[in-house]
């Protein structure tokens, strides 16, 4: 009986040997396949980094209306041929934001080798005239140097403004004025008075003049459309927006009386 049991053990071991060999062969094949995949991936990476595909081939600048593409590119430090993976995004963004016109900047990388420079400019809220050129005033109060010889129509002209703090205050006020009303402002004169160093005079495209103060003009001028709608067609004058709000016609009462008297005299002459 013992011999029989020993024979069964021998047979069972012999049956298992082929299975063990097959399992070992499969493991070896898997390891070989994995090794070959890693090898080919490394080869592809080496080829990629040595090829033009790993270099920046296209740079796009978006979001700029006034700042030249070349200026933004120069400040970014990026150029065609720069290593795509070597690009320092934070350093490029910081360089672009050194431009006075730029409020924010983002550098976006698109595989395999495209870069987009996305910028946001400070809004131009007004212009200042100096030596025949018109210098943009940004929303943060910064005055840019400019060689523009013709007055732009996208913002009012500031006249008689010298103090930087007051210019910044006026720029902040213009940002709070509703766009349709701000678009109607042609010129803003700094006209300080004895009791108000912030006094201003605004000339509107419709022919009206507004007298007010920088400190509250953004709130007061919101009533401008309503006030104009209540005035007689063709009437022109000063809309006072200091403490109270009222309209003062350019035509003095004496002038209207003279006109009426002249009309009566002409009628009598004709009679």
Q: How far apart are the first and last CA of the chain?
A: 160
What six digits make up the tokens of 247?
A: 């309209």
Could you tell me the CA-to-CA distances from 62 to 65, 108, 136, 142, 154 in Å, in that order?
A: 9, 11, 21, 23, 21
Mean pLDDT for the stretch of residues 2-18: 55
Answer yes or no: is pLDDT of 244 > 90.
Answer: no
| Residue-level pLDDT at 199 | 96
Tell me which of 244 and 99 has the higher pLDDT.
Answer: 99
Locate tokens 């140097």: which residue? 145
- Distance of alpha carbon 119 from alpha carbon 136, whole angstroms: 18
**Lowest model confidence (mean pLDDT) among 64-68, 147-151, 235-239:** 147-151
Tell which residue, 136, 131, 126, 124, has the closest CA to residue 157. Answer: 126
Pick the residue with more confidence: 68 or 264? 68
Paired with 82 in beta bridges are none
pLDDT band at 263 (very low <50, low <70, confident <90, very high): very low
pLDDT digits (tens, 9 = 90+) for 70-102: 999 999 999 999 888 889 999 999 999 999 999
Contact in structure between 114 and 60 (CB atoms under 8 Å): yes
Dump pLDDT digits (tens) for 105-148: 999 999 889 999 999 999 999 998 888 888 999 999 899 987 67
pLDDT tens, residue by residue, 189-236: 999 998 899 999 999 999 999 999 999 999 999 999 999 999 988 889
Mean pLDDT of 238-252: 90
**Partner residues linked to 248 by β-bridges:** 238
């Amino acid at each position: 009986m013992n011999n029989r049991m020993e024979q069964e053990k021998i047979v069972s071991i012999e049956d298992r040997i082929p299975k063990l060999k097959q399992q070992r062969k499969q493991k070896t094949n898997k390891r070989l396949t994995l090794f070959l995949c890693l090898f080919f991936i490394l080869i592809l990476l080496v080829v990629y980094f040595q090829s033009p595909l790993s270099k920046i081939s296209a740079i796009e600048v978006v979001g700029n209306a006034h700042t030249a593409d070349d200026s933004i590119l120069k400040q970014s430090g990026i150029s065609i041929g720069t290593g795509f993976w070597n690009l320092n995004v934070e350093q490029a963004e910081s360089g672009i934001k050194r431009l006075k016109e730029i409020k924010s900047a983002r550098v976006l990388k698109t595989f395999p080798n495209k870069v987009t420079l996305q910028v946001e400019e400070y809004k131009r809220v007004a212009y200042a005239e100096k030596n025949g050129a018109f210098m943009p005033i940004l929303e943060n109060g910064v005055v840019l140097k400019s060689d523009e010889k013709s007055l732009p129509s996208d913002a009012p002209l500031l006249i008689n403004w010298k103090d930087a703090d007051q210019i910044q205050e006026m720029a902040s006020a213009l940002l709070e004025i509703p766009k349709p009303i701000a678009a109607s402002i042609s010129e803003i004169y700094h006209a300080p008075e004895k009791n108000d160093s912030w006094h201003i005079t605004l000339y509107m495209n419709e022919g009206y003049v507004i007298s007010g103060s920088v400190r509250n003009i953004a709130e007061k001028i919101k009533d401008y459309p309503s006030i104009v709608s209540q005035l007689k067609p063709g009437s022109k004058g000063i809309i006072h927006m200091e403490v109270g709000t009222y309209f003062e016609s350019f035509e003095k009462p004496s002038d209207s009386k003279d006109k009426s008297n002249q009309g009566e005299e002409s009628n009598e002459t004709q009679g």
